[in-house]
Structure 1
């Protein structure tokens, strides 16, 4: 297999010409309190680009492109590496959503690899005998929290449609890193130090594989920069290289099921659940915004909220020429977020199980009416869900008030290949290190905690995002592709960040499309998440004037140090060249390839 990929690499270099040096942004990012108008150098290329949150992943993606691979081929290799070197965020035992833009047809396809609840999942499985929640950490660190993983099936399906390299060639770099060892990065090391106390160290608390993986014999975190091998993961990849379906059958599936079934708080996942899983293709949701068309995945993704923010902004008074430097522009953006989040929290769930008023939520007439509440420089006093049902053909369905706890543990990357095809993919194990249980060298997801822990609200009304067998939990993952007026590729963006993903992603759209920023400048803007009654803003990047302006407008502003996005962005300029934006809050790298 290494001979194959080596030959392909040589062929790719011959075809591609000179390769530019990748642009790397250090984990510490740019100076704090930088002004939004500051000019940030942007990497410009002619064709291929890869942006991920990890240098190993960006490099392998670019190498695949240089070897003649497609954007999907690169995505497979990227996720295989991220599963190893960034296990706190995503992995092959997790789930995700991929958007694929076909440059020949100008069509976007959604690949849905969201996890599903086991057939024996119960609506009250996160409640104790008294009907009270067992608590998020107890739920997360358990077998109850693991859904049937979907990433491998997603990647297999996308490869069948758009892969150019033979299946299996994508895993060579990840196998090499797993066998020879990869350096524990500053970001991974910090998570081990900060969250290692939650990883079971004794069997009475749960399986100890993760503890043994991250801690030495003295109970100390493995040193920063030290090498960590993962032979079990290398074995898993070698099996998958022969047959991706082996993930859902045989020894890999058996080990996953066994780990989920261990005490305490054993889950109900079975081999039948694993064998029954199939990733899905969907048509994207799209929303016109100015001269552009924004597209993302349908539920169980929450991308509809991104589209709603755009529609609300389309209806309100235009942003001032001050752009990102005008706090009044940010106040408009904040209230658009608050209205969109209120509707998302109330209505979005797996539409194969509940009626979701998608047409109504994206109907411009509905958004125009909602936007009447937005006034420049004056915060909306009371935020509540709207009523999109009159804009639907179906009858109204009443849902209880949502009670979902959406936590961050995710990654996002974007790829443009030599043919102009694009991948925007968000993948996740849900929270940091997922369930902390391991199988086949992989961290198992805790995605089922993305369901509401209670099936009914205080009034007894059923909640849309309640647990049901076979159901996909609601996700905040919102990979986005933007097309121009000619339906040609213009922009790809997305982020990790739990429920903050919606706000982070929308920030880059506003920054590039409305405020005329480069993708790097848009990524570097302070993160602002306006949800419910409060507005969280990244205090180390927001100016004092911006914070004061939001407070003057009546917002309850919380200065946050933890707006930990991981944005990856590519924008196509008018001359066809590409600009990338990588998040300085993580360890991201932009890799470029000239063809």
Structure 2
């Protein structure tokens, strides 16, 4: 969730160079960075106002307050993120990282901002292996001190603000500071997630102290919760800039908490001080006359979405529709092919060669589409051999769901599509000064080689960024004008969620709200994960007749899609009914 060329459009990405297996240090693999400049066109005189779609009404209102004060989409993003870190701490926060896609309506430029966490200098490829060389149990790794990467959200937002902010840096922090000081009512979802956490693992002392009552039960929905330490932290960042977070007392507390038992990590003050966000070219491809732009490595989201779309472009999806078993069957099979390639080849491209051009090559994707039958499912799915690929081991990366996505359009027509995360539920469950620290490093493969001894692309390494599935996406119409922005949380299922919504809107002519409400079907593994409550019995039966096998859950209910689309009637938003989000205008 981090595009496809139709006939007649030139591919501008250079071929990828191969990197030696087991490369230990970063290598600037510039051939993998998109050299393509999106042919987006300035919006001209913008007459559509603004809109924000995010996962909590309080966060949406924080952003709208900033828009009403004359702020840009980036100014509002700071307000939305800092509020989400308070009211939705299970999903994102300043202790985590993010990817942002930004469209400048005046210049037509699309920029990708990378605020992904990085592994400390002391990390090794045995980060999540025990003394015997076996992978650690998942929740043991999550709650350990080893799981924290250097947080990147604040540094990334500051970089974007320097280039696109309209208000003073500190202004956008004020809504969340007030909300933290005055208190907010715990939402039903926050209560539910705290309850669900107890089913997976014993909540950490920090979670218990913050969100549980004296009996150890989650505080009820509607309880007024104040967080003055968080207000003080935000105030320090607002008045002193990012340096207040990456150096000084806050940084010392982050390092100290990460260094505590169980399994202390190696995160250091030098790691925090050295963190730098990245400004990247987005990956852009075409899909049925539209241009789709998304994130490249270290996110696999953009590649996964575009590969799935590129395979489906070889079929007449518009002729099927949302009730057609055939259309969903093709979608499932395309996912399976895109996921196995994504799992095999995509990681931090400063460390391993990622064959972006090959993975998204129209001829290669056509050959993958030829493996799909309209009458049966594939018995087995193997990685392909995209042009420029180096042989890789089979992936051993898990899946978690603690993420959020929001979309902002300001009254100048600028657009932010941003996916943000602390990784698991409440991140590592370690709290510092009112916010939770991430467990982002568990996005690495726990194993460093596969059963055949082949090196795994997404294995841990010092200074490396774990592979993400975040897929903030912006789509432009056939004339190059902004059409829609979309994204979702959901771990590696993000790729399935975002692609589903795009197919719904672009091929099946659904409204944003109708598209995000479609059933979630995730085909990274077999049996396929199914959101059975939103799929009709007839659809399920039709898919089973084609050989599809399903399991309930598996993240199929866990999306949090948010969309803003520009229509002839103006801006139209969509918020995933599975969460508490809303889409509103100032």
Verify same fold: TM over 0.5.
yes
Contact map agreement 1:523 1:567 (CA 8 A) in 2 = yes
Q: Measure the CA separation in 2 of the matches of 1:386 and 1:517.
A: 33
Is contact 2:522–2:556 with CA below 8 Å preserved after alignment?
Answer: no
CA shift in 2, pair 1:233/1:423, >3 Å: same
Match runs of 1:427-466 below 5 Å? 427-466=420-459
Match in the other structure for 1:304: 303
**For this pair of structures, how many residues does the alignment match?**
537
State the 1:536 CA deviation. 1.7
- In structure 2, how many angstroms separate the alpha carbons of the residues matched to 1:321 and 1:478? 27
Q: Which residue of 2 aligns with 1:157?
A: 159
Alignment of 1:442-591 (within 5 A): 442-560=435-553, 562-574=556-568, 577-591=570-584
Match of 2:119 among 117, 120, 124: 117
Partners in 2 of 1:501 and 1:197 — Cα distance? 23
* From 276, 279, 291, the counterpart of 1:278: 276
**Mapping of residues 64-143 of structure 1, within 5 Å:** 64-143=66-145
Distance 1:425 1:352 in 2: 22
User: Aligned to 1:333, what secondary structure does the other structure show?
Assistant: helix
Q: Deviations over 1:414-434 (max 9, x none)?
A: 000011010000000111010
**1:248 corresponds to which of 246, 249, 257:** 246
Aligned residue number for residue 32 of structure 1: none
Instruction: Determine the structure 2 residue equivalent to 1:263.
Output: 261
SS at match of 1:286: strand
Consecutive unaligned residues of structure 1, counting only runs of 5 or more, are 1-44
1:425 maps to which of 410, 418, 430 = 418
For residue 177 of structure 1, report the CA deviation from its aligned partner.
Answer: 1.2
Measure how far apart 1:320 and its partner are.
5.3
How far the C-alpha of 1:142 sits from its partner, in A, is 1.1
2:372 matched to 1:354?
Answer: no
C-alpha separation between the residues in 1 aligned to 2:217 and 2:550? 38
The equivalent of 1:293 in structure 2 is 291
Q: Tell me the SS of whatever aligns to 2:585.
A: strand
Structure 1 residue runs of 4+, over 4 Å off? 197-201
**Higher mean displacement: 565-574 or 418-427:** 565-574
CA deviation profile, 1:515-553 (whole Å, cap 9, x unmatched): 000111101111111123322221111000110111111
Which one of 199, 215, 220 corresponds to residue 218 of structure 1? 215
Q: CA deviation at 1:591?
A: 1.1
Query: Is the contact between residue 148 and residue 273 of structure 1 (CA under 8 Å) also seen in structure 2?
Result: yes
Within a 5 Å distance, the mapping from 1:398-409 to structure 2 comes to 398-409=391-402
CA distance in 1, matches of 2:535, 2:374: 19
Q: What is the CA–CA distance in structure 2 between the aligned matches of 1:199 and 1:328, rounded to whole Å?
A: 40
User: Contact between 2:573 and 2:584, CA under 8 Å: does it hold in 1?
Assistant: no
- For the structure 1 residues 369 and 417, does the alpha-carbon distance in structure 2 shift closer, same or farther, using more than 3 Å as the test? same
| 1:321 to partner: Cα distance | 3.1
Shift of 1:168: 0.6
Counterpart pick for 2:408 among 394, 402, 415: 415
Contact 1:80 1:171 (8 Å CA) reproduced? yes
- Partner SS state of residue 493, structure 1: strand
Question: How far does the alpha carbon of each residue in 1:280-329 deviate from its partner, in whole angstroms, 9 at most, with x for none?
Answer: 000001111001011101111112010001111112x3125341011111
Distance apart, 1:198 and its partner CA: 6.2
- Kept in 1, the 8 Å contact 2:530–2:556? The answer is no
Distance in 1 (CA, whole Å) between partners of 2:189 and 2:514 is 23
Pair 325,169 (structure 1): closer, same or farther in 2 beyond 3 Å: same
Alpha-carbon distance in structure 1 between the residues aligned to 2:58 and 2:377: 44
| Distance in 2 (alpha carbons) for counterparts of 1:527 and 1:331 | 13
Matched residue SS, 2:317: coil
Using the TM superposition, give the Cα deviation of residue 460 of structure 1 relative to its aligned residue in structure 2, in angstroms. Answer: 1.1
SS in 2 for 1:137: helix
Task: Report the secondary structure of 1:570's partner residue.
Answer: strand
Deviation per residue, 1:88-141 (Å, 9 max, x gap): 000000011000001112211000000000000011121111111121000001
Q: Counterparts of 1:578 and 1:158 in 2: how far apart (Å)?
A: 24
Q: What is the 5 A alignment of 1:169-248?
A: 169-196=171-198, 208-242=205-239, 243-248=241-246
* Contact 2:318–2:507 (CA under 8 A) maintained in structure 1: no
Aligned alpha-carbon RMSD (Å): 1.4
1:583 CA drift (Å) = 0.6
Q: CA deviation at 1:346?
A: 0.4
CA contact (8 A) 1:72 1:158 kept: yes
Once the two structures are TM-superposed, the CA of residue 190 in structure 1 deviates from its matched residue by 0.8
Query: What are the superposed Cα offsets for residues 250-306 of structure 1, whole Å, 9 maximum, x if unpaired?
Result: 011111000000011110000000000011000001111001011101111112010
SS of match in other structure, 1:324: coil
Conserved? CA contact 1:102–1:108, under 8 Å: yes
Paired with 2:453 and 2:559, the residues of 1 have a C-alpha distance of 36
> Residue 197 of structure 1: CA displacement?
6.3
Deviations 1:534-573 (A, max 9, x none): 2222111100011011111111122438521000001111
Relative to structure 1, the CA distance from residue 292 to residue 446 in structure 2 (aligned partners, 3 Å threshold; closer, same or farther) is same
Which of residues 35, 54, 57 is equivalent to 1:52?
Answer: 54
Match of 2:19 in 1: none
Can you list the C-alpha shifts for 1:417-457, whole angstroms capped at 9, x where unaligned? 01101000000011101000011211000000000111111
Aligned counterpart in structure 2 of residue 386 of structure 1, from 374, 384, 387: 384
Q: In the aligned structure 2, how far is the partner of 1:175 from the partner of 1:559?
A: 40
The answer as to whether partners of 1:331 and 1:377 remain within 8 angstroms in 2 is no
C-alpha separation between the residues in 2 aligned to 1:125 and 1:110? 29
For residues 482 and 76 of structure 2, the distance between their equivalents in structure 1, rounded to whole angstroms, comes to 18
Task: Output the CA distance in 2 between the equivalents of 1:196 and 1:545.
Answer: 36
Does the aligned pair in 2 maintain the 1:332–1:377 contact within 8 Å? Answer: no
SS of aligned partner of 1:281: strand
TM value normalised by structure 2 = 0.90
Cα deviation digits, residues 193-251 of structure 1 (max 9, x gap): 221466767xxxx6x22221112233232222111111110110010001222110001
